[in-house]
């Protein structure tokens, strides 16, 4: 299990992909920035990317509200640095460099109503959240076996 304590969902949008027999597969793509605390997190993130499907839990750091994405694919990611202001204002401001992972996550939209999924994700958009990556399991959440076959 991998947890990023400070992450921000920067963008998310609906997308379409072609599955078997040219069937259109509805997806949701999320772009997020996750602050990296240590090098082990980068290794775990890479393992999750190679694994294929993961379960991702998004939790609002202020309210504790949670939302689970049962099957997510981690696309290739970048490790970057940015300056973060810590004290002072204007010229007196002090900065530290923070490393973060620029992530792209892809999940399948719910067949019944993908718009509801987009609306639910809006509660976590552009605020500090906690991202927890866990192994994908057949019994993840309310996922049925027939739905999992569609994912593959």
In this predicted model, what pLDDT tens digit does every residue of 63-98 receive, in sequence order? 999 999 989 999 999 999 988 888 767 777 888 899
pTM of the model: 0.81
User: What pLDDT is stored for residue 142 in this prediction?
Assistant: 47
- 20 in a structural domain: yes
For 1-10, 44-53, 106-115, which range has the lowest pLDDT when averaged over its residues? 106-115
Q: Is the pLDDT of residue 151 over 60?
A: no
Residues 6+ apart with CB under 8 A from 89: none
- 146 in a structural domain: no
Whole-number Å distance between alpha carbons of 38 and 3: 11
Collapsing DSSP to helix, strand or coil, 76 comes out as coil
Whole-number Å distance between alpha carbons of 58 and 102: 16
User: What pLDDT is stored for residue 115 in this prediction?
Assistant: 84
- 63 in a structural domain: yes
Residues 6+ apart with CB under 8 A from 27: 14, 15, 16, 17, 106, 107, 108, 109
Q: Give the chain's domain count.
A: 1
Better-scored residue on pLDDT, 37 or 113: 37
User: What pLDDT is stored for residue 85 in this prediction?
Assistant: 80
Strand partners, 108: 27
Mean pLDDT of 129-145: 71
- How does residue 112 score in pLDDT terms, banded at 50, 70 and 90? low
- 144 in a structural domain: no
Residue 136 and residue 82 in contact, taking contact as beta carbons nearer than 8 Å: no
In angstroms, what CA-CA distances link 76 with 30, 71, 121, 122, 151?
13, 17, 22, 24, 19
- 143 in a structural domain: no
- 151 in a structural domain: no
Residue 62 is part of which domain span? 2-138
């Amino acid at each position: 299990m991998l947890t990023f304590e400070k992450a921000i969902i920067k963008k998310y949008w609906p997308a379409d992909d072609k599955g078997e027999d040219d069937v259109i597969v509805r997806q949701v793509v999320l772009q997020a920035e996750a602050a990296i605390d240590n090098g082990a997190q980068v290794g775990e993130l890479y393992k999750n990317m190679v694994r294929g499907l993961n379960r991702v839990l998004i939790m609002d750091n202020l309210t504790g509200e949670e939302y689970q994405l049962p099957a997510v694919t981690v696309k290739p990611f970048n490790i970057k640095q940015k300056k973060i202001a810590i004290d002072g204002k204007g010229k007196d401001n002090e900065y530290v460099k923070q490393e973060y992972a620029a992530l792209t996550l892809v999940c399948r939209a719910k067949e019944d109503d993908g718009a509801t999924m987009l609306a639910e994700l809006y509660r976590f958009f552009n605020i500090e959240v906690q991202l927890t990556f866990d192994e994908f399991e057949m019994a993840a959440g309310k996922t049925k076996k027939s739905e999992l076959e569609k994912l593959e």
